[in-house]
């Protein structure tokens, strides 16, 4: 095999390795005024996902992850709380699962999350949504 052919084969091998890296391997950064962290999809189905990551409270107040099943051509489904609260100012492992209860025709396209503050007697405030496509 010639020198140029080896370079071409090596380049093709590297290109294939990059293409085959799953998108789910990348963590999604999430934040709100009250907390921040990351989430990564570990598995998903037609209308569900399971994820894990890190979460911390910016202020020492209770924060958690809210999960959302995202559809391109259908109304998104919010699961509300998918993790337990944390008040830790250091990152702790948090995650959970989100599933549409009644199966519907389209398959989900992505997982979504928000960092929310647990406020007793008041609506929970949440940051903007981050998502990861399947």
What is the mean predicted confidence (pLDDT) over 94-99? 97
Token digits of residue 121: 């007697």
- What value does the mean pLDDT take over residues 26-43? 96
**The pTM of the whole model exceeds 0.95:** no
What is the rounded average pLDDT of the residues 14-24? 46
Please, what sign has the CA dihedral across residues 46, 64, 31, 95? negative
């Amino acid at each position: 095999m010639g020198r140029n052919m080896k370079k071409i084969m090596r380049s093709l091998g590297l290109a294939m390795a990059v293409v085959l890296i799953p998108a789910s391997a990348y963590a999604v950064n999430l934040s709100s005024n009250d907390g921040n962290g990351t989430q990564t999809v570990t598995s998903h189905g037609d209308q569900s996902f399971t994820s894990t990551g890190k979460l911390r409270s910016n202020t020492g107040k209770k924060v958690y992850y809210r999960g959302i099943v995202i559809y391109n051509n259908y109304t998104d489904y919010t699961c509300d709380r998918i993790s337990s609260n944390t008040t830790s100012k250091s990152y702790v492992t948090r995650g959970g699962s989100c599933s549409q209860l009644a199966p519907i025709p389209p398959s989900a396209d992505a997982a979504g999350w928000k960092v929310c503050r647990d406020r007793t007697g008041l609506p929970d405030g949440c940051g903007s949504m981050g998502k990861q496509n399947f």
